[in-house]
């Protein structure tokens, strides 16, 4: 049961009234077959982050899971929202590029009162900057995390900077131990530096606390990768080398699933890194599908990727529709505003050093 | 009495041994008269941030107070380090541009072991970036502040961003109340926004907590300035309008001296803002002269100004020489590295949002 | 006479029709006396960047010169827009904080079709970033500069970075020689580095072309300042030291007025630098009053200051109202967007290195 | 034959004199077998960007192609430098972590006089910033490009920003047509936006010249990808849709090889994008192996990746050793300095908007 504060926190979704116009007299949506694998038909419809309804056989179907720039496909009586590259020849794809029922498509941009909020936002400031005040964002975030620890799914997306700082590594480990992390999305670099820190107490050869260079420390990340491979995997490495701290260690200990995506700048990679970009995207989306809060920190590439695959709503197991919280934390206004640019009105940006952010956050949660 | 930790904290100054060469056979320094007011003689010597000794009548005199880009003048048996603009015609100025006794000038660049530290630093990283780990810097800073609260003078230099955030204003107020602030250097904008926050609960018209725009809120800073002027000054305004919170309020309450420098972007200005840039510089240097720790936050202009006027050492009342801690905190690598560029090896840079910095700091100090 | 292209360039101002409602039945504006020097009466009106009309004795008067955050004062049958600090006790100040004739005040926010443009702008992008395309902005700027060289007044506001680069100094000198610069606003640093470059071929001691350090080069800016003072002024220095290149030299040669504002970070300052921030502000506004194009480059402080004192329109000598072009060029999105934040919808931001900007511009103009 | 200017441009490589000590009495290198596929033996040696020699059977062998963080493997009488992931069980890997012949390994860090240059560099500035002067870098770059168009291989690495600007696209197309581009490395986004610009005159739905939003323009990149896939590939799309401009078009027309690496943020991807990060890395290194000049622009991910795989020297077909020019152009100091951080003393950083950079460059080359 939610208390009052939490009820305030989550805005109630205002379901469309399909017994009214223009829903009643709207035509059924037109479906067209994909001409080839991975190719959509002419005039295909593309999805966004808002709830979308499609009229089929006189009934309005809500896409259960949505994301940016995908196509709605009618499968087994439901609407699946899938990437173009996953489309199969012959599948029935929704066509039409209107959003207000003209072609049987309704994009519900105001289900949580976003329009009002957006116009308020426009009234004062476009974008968020280093001078934006963030006290209230932190306070809201504490509430969101406390609520979703019990009632939702919190997905964290983190860049390699986290492995460089002693306090930041400790803070995120505490968050994992305390149940605030339900999935972790990262890259080979984060995992490598974190394991190096646990194994050799350095990150890229520097002592993670004193920042002093170790002799031949530039070997340390390669040595770590090499040792993990010799042991046969991350789990075996943790066991055999008696690793007892860090982000990846904590994920393993508390059974938090993590996805490590490969990139062209990687050394290694570590075993279990997904080398194919699109398979990695699929694995990430599998974690994001049922997320209710997503926090992206210090990684523009992963933030944009996850921002594109996160919708503004979630259909909960009991069928209710709730909003999804999406945060982007970065020291660069460019990175944060780029996400807002892409249409994520629902995106809260916080401009700061992520080391301070995560330490502040863990203290604010009493950890 | 200092405990062990503090003894470690402050590096012992290694006095030059003037009974050895090259000091013994070095010539006396050559003095030349300033030809005009504000004009130094040919070949004038300019000072830096390190302790400098000048041989006069066979004795080596240490400049008691130094700073960048000033000239040493021999007055009343001592060496004063003064700005070119304060030089009077006829005053005897030290000439010579060597640093190793050749002309009777010794610049002591390694009194606190800086050279070793610099070469260590070079070994790993040039400059500090958003990915630098700062845990150890924070830990050092807690020690420095605890020590200098009792045994030193802590000067804070702050930009207007502090007035925008609810938690940041509260954190800095606590630091003032707890005795960690011995002087505050800022500009008209910081004071205006802070007083607006206290008087009308907004900063530039936005509620400082919710960030919602107030109706006609863009009048608020002008209204605040106007009201302060009507009341006859900041102190009277605080009394008559029952101001009970904020940075300027706390300075007044705890008798912390503050210097407000004017700038060309100011509205107003508030009474007590110093409109002349060079008189403001003088007033700032008056506070910096005996500072033992200087922390510059979120203001490139003031940070560079204060960076230039802060030397790396201080001659304490008992005659001993101790090092000066200088921190520059900013979200921009450019701002932080610009200070290092200017020769301040002694400058620690922390790249973060200053709101988070000050909140983390006050929590770390148990406030 | 303007050719077609130029006619397209300058949007025609759409005068309000005062013979219609709500102008006809609007009340006269209420004037109230300033209670003290520098203090406005309760409910004072503050101006912005748009044309504002005030109904007095049944007639609508346009403020001939406006700027942000000033007060309209009724003097000699006209409305003067003046800074609070220049207000005299007893002067009649316009009161009221509405903008649509309710209190006899009409703020004409759409005289040049800005509202339509703003809504277009909102449709795609908020703010400008490093990824914004600027080809069209350059093309427009070439037209604006060619037109205003003959028919307007072009004011340039430049930061010290210009003096560091060989090609940039040459490009701006060519612009001055070719008549594209009608006034220059800068600080002590720009002038010092530029004169150092002309006198000693270095900027802060580095060769401005090869960037190699000169021996004792850190003396060069002080030596330059000292020499200028010895010579008695910039003009005498240029003559006596046979200076034949650079930005300040070109201004002197082509009789382009320049204002040098002092700041707390200055060494020196050079003679003719204005040390009082508010007198400097006044001198800057004197140049901006009749500007038709303003280009701010690489100086956040000066850009914001000038942005605040530049209105979006100009009443030309023949009484017609024309728009003012305002450009802000900086490598930092923060700096550029900060100006837009402050209400300057009319502000075009270009995110780039100003060295490249000025070289591209001068080549684009065929110099 | 090289003219004088070019001879100055390319520093002569100073071959080590192996008839002297410490080379003569150095031991042979120790080889150890890789215990497993992708796993190096204990104490494996890792390579950097400098020429490295390995003593085998009394002879010093130069690794013909090197890169950061790889292992030297003795194959067929030569030293191959390969990624850990490409190592096969049983292959003989060089061991030892010294660099001055102690273990038969000599890392030649000063073959082109780098040490002197580095110490000069340290003398003035650490890192490059927005205020660095770049005139000389441009002039050098013109020479480098003119020389390597005939005598070398110029590889360009470009981010998506290039496709957004009308002039930038034209400039790079001219560079391709004029023979200054021998290979292009990019990602799916660059190619998608560039083809969208050619096909629909927009980038992400905005007109690339006017920046006006097209109706439903957010479909344009998906439409483009979909059409390319329908046509069966990029080449077929260009032919069938009569594409006649742009970066990819120019590569196809002038037979310039390009590598498109996939990433987790991609829509699509386009056909011919390499989805596996490590296969993409291999394809990129295949182009970089014999590069003599590498220019990375506006893409931190690709720049770091290519920076790591580019050595500071090249063994030319005639057996001589020449230096490799490596440029990193970005608007962010962080991105540029990150590359320098990683050891690339040979890296020249230019901080600017890449649109201006490429336009300036093409004009400077007379295109």
* pLDDT mean for each 10 residues of chain D (367 residues): 53 94 97 98 96 97 94 97 97 97 95 66 56 89 96 97 92 98 98 97 88 90 97 98 98 98 96 98 97 95 94 93 93 83 66 94 95
Start-to-end CA distance of chain B, whole Å, equals 24
**pLDDT of C148:** 97
Whether the CB of A46 is below 8 Å from some CB of chain D: the reply is yes
Whether the CB of C115 is below 8 Å from some CB of chain A: the reply is no
Q: Shortest CB distance from D136 goes to which of C205, C209, C360? A: C209
What percent of chain C clears pLDDT 90, i.e. is strictly above it? Answer: 79
State chain B's maximal CA–CA distance in angstroms: 75
How much is the mean pLDDT over chain C? 91
Closest residue of C to D353, CA-based? C352
Residue from C118, C129, C331, C338 to probe the interface with A (highest A Cβ count within 10 Å): C129
Residue B236 has pLDDT above 60, yes or no: yes
| Contact between B280 and B287 (Cβ < 8 Å) | no
Which residues make Cβ contacts (< 8 Å) with residue C309, sequence separation at least 6?
A: C67, C68, C281, C284, C285, C288
Closest residue of C to B89, CA-based? C230
Residue B343 has pLDDT above 90, yes or no: no
Rounded to the nearest angstrom, the minimum Cα separation between A291 and chain C is 28
Of B228 and A132, more confident: B228
pLDDT digits 0-9 by tens, A178-234: 999 999 999 999 999 999 999 999 988 888 888 888 999 999 999 999 999 999 999
Q: Shortest CB distance from A130 goes to which of C129, C334, C340? A: C334
**Strand, helix or coil for residue B156:** strand
pLDDT digits 0-9 by tens, C123-180: 334 567 888 888 889 999 999 999 999 999 999 999 998 888 999 999 999 999 999 9
Return the structure tokens found at C324. 């003012």
Which residues make Cβ contacts (< 8 Å) with residue B4, sequence separation at least 6?
A: none
Which residues make Cβ contacts (< 8 Å) with residue D177, sequence separation at least 6?
A: D250, D253, D254
| Pick from B148, B39, B18: nearest CA to B85 | B39
When pLDDT is cut at 50, 70 and 90, the band that residue A127 belongs to is: low
Whether the CB of A136 is below 8 Å from some CB of chain B: the reply is yes
**pLDDT of D175:** 98
**pLDDT of A4:** 45
A337·C130 Cβ contact <8 A: no
Closest residue of C to A338, CA-based? C129
Whether the CB of A124 is below 8 Å from some CB of chain C: the reply is no
> Which residues does residue C296 pair with via DSSP β-bridges, in sequence order?
C157, C328
Mean pLDDT, residues A303-318 taken together: 93
Residue A31 has pLDDT above 90, yes or no: yes
Closest residue of A to C335, CA-based? A129
**pLDDT of B329:** 95
**pLDDT of D3:** 42
Which chain C residues are closer than 8 Å to A126 by Cβ? 126-127, 337, 340-341
Burial of A307 (0-12, 13-18, 19+ CB in 10 A): buried
C129·A338 Cβ contact <8 A: yes
Rounded to the nearest angstrom, the minimum Cα separation between C223 and chain B is 9
Q: How far apart are CA C40 and CA C44, in angstroms?
A: 6
Q: How far apart are CA D330 and CA D132, in angstroms?
A: 13
The rounded radius of gyration (Å) of the Cα atoms in chain D is: 22
Buried residues in A81-108 as b, exposed as e (16+ CB within 10 A): bbbbbebeeebbbbbbeebebebbbbbb
Residue B305 has pLDDT above 70, yes or no: yes
H/E element holding D203? strand D202-203
| Pick from A64, A51, A62, A194: nearest CA to A109 | A51
How much is the mean pLDDT over chain A? 91
pLDDT digits 0-9 by tens, A71-105: 999 999 999 999 999 999 999 999 999 999 999 99
**pLDDT of C8:** 66
Whether the CB of C165 is below 8 Å from some CB of chain D: the reply is yes
Burial of D172 (0-12, 13-18, 19+ CB in 10 A): buried
Bond preceding residue A249 cis, omega within 30 of 0? no
When pLDDT is cut at 50, 70 and 90, the band that residue C208 belongs to is: confident
Rounded to the nearest angstrom, the minimum Cα separation between A266 and chain B is 17
When pLDDT is cut at 50, 70 and 90, the band that residue A153 belongs to is: very high
Residue A335 has pLDDT above 90, yes or no: no
Rounded to the nearest angstrom, the minimum Cα separation between C341 and chain A is 6
Phi, psi at residue D274, to the nearest 5°? -90, 115
* Residue C154: Cβ within 10 Å count: 21
When pLDDT is cut at 50, 70 and 90, the band that residue B361 belongs to is: very high
Highest mean pLDDT range out of A1-15, A112-126, A234-248? A234-248
When pLDDT is cut at 50, 70 and 90, the band that residue B160 belongs to is: very high
| Contact between D104 and D111 (Cβ < 8 Å) | no
- What subunits touch chain A, counting only 3 or more CB pairs under 8 A? B, C, D
D355·C352 Cβ contact <8 A: yes
pLDDT digits 0-9 by tens, C256-312: 999 999 999 999 999 999 999 999 999 999 999 999 999 999 999 999 999 999 999
C126·A337 Cβ contact <8 A: yes
**Strand, helix or coil for residue C225:** helix
Q: What share of chain D is helix, strand, coil (3-state, %, to 5)?
A: 40, 20, 40
Q: How far apart are CA D247 and CA D162, in angstroms?
A: 9
Which chain A residues are closer than 8 Å to C340 by Cβ? 126
Q: How far apart are CA B329 and CA B171, in angstroms?
A: 16
Residue C3 has pLDDT above 50, yes or no: no
**pLDDT of D130:** 84
User: To 5 degrees, how large is the angle CA C159–CA C160–CA C164?
Assistant: 135
**pLDDT of D115:** 61
H/E element holding B360? helix B354-364
**Strand, helix or coil for residue B322:** strand
Residue B345 has pLDDT above 60, yes or no: no
Rounded to the nearest angstrom, the minimum Cα separation between A315 and chain B is 29
> What's B168-201 look like in SS3?
HHHHHHHHHHCCCCCEEEEEHHHHHHHHHHHHHC
Sheet holding D105-107, edge to edge: D59-62, D52-56, D105-107
Rounded to the nearest angstrom, the minimum Cα separation between C229 and chain B is 6
**pLDDT of C166:** 92
B229·C304 Cβ contact <8 A: no
pLDDT digits 0-9 by tens, B252-289: 999 999 999 999 999 999 999 999 999 999 999 999 99
H/E element holding A187? strand A183-187
Q: How far apart are CA C184 and CA C253, in angstroms?
A: 13
* Residue A18: Cβ within 10 Å count: 14
Which chain C residues are closer than 8 Å to A130 by Cβ? 334
Of B204 and D63, more confident: D63
Q: How far apart are CA D301 and CA D246, in angstroms?
A: 23
Question: Which whole-number Å values give the CA distances from D5 to A234, B194, D13, D144, D364, in the listed order?
Answer: 55, 61, 17, 10, 17
* Residue D51: Cβ within 10 Å count: 24
Closest residue of B to A214, CA-based? B124
**pLDDT of C122:** 40
pLDDT digits 0-9 by tens, C109-130: 889 876 665 555 443 345 678 8
């Amino acid at each position: 049961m939610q208390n009052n504060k939490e009820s305030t926190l989550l805005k109630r979704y205002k379901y469309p009234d399909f017994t009214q116009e223009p829903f009643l007299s709207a035509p059924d949506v037109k479906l067209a077959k994909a001409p080839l694998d991975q190719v959509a038909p002419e005039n295909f419809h593309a999805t966004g982050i808002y709830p979308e309804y499609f009229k089929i056989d006189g009934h309005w179907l809500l896409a259960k899971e949505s994301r940016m720039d995908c196509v709605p496909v009618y499968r087994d009586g439901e609407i699946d929202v899938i990437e173009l590259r996953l489309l199969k020849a012959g599948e029935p794809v929704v066509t039409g590029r209107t959003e207000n029922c003209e072609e049987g498509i309704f994009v519900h941009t105001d289900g949580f009162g976003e329009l009002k909020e957006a116009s308020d936002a426009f009234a004062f400031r476009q974008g968020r900057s280093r001078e934006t005040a963030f006290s209230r964002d932190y306070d809201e975030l504490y509430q969101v995390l406390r609520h979703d620890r019990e009632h939702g799914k919190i997905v964290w997306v983190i860049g390699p900077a986290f492995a460089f700082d002693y306090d930041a590594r400790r803070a995120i480990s505490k968050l994992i131990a305390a149940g605030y992390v339900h999935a972790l999305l990262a890259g080979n670099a984060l995992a490598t530096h974190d394991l190096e820190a646990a194994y050799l107490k350095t990150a890229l050869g520097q002592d993670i606390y004193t920042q002093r260079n170790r002799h031949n420390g530039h070997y340390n990340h390669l040595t770590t990768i090499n040792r993990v491979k010799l042991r046969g995997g991350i789990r075996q490495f943790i066991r055999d080398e008696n690793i007892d701290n860090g982000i990846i260690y904590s994920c393993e200990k508390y059974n938090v699933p993590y996805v490590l995506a490969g990139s062209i700048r990687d050394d290694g990679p570590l075993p279990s890194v997904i080398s194919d970009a699109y398979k990695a995207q699929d694995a990430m989306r599998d974690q994001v599908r049922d997320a209710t809060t997503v926090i992206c920190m210090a990684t523009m590439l992963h933030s944009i990727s996850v921002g594109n695959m996160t919708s503004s709503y979630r259909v909960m197991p009991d069928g209710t529709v709730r909003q999804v919280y999406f945060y982007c934390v970065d020291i660069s206004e460019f990175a944060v505003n780029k996400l807002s640019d892409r249409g994520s009105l629902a995106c809260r940006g916080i401009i700061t050093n992520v080391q301070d952010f995560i330490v502040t956050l863990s203290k604010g949660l009493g950890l």
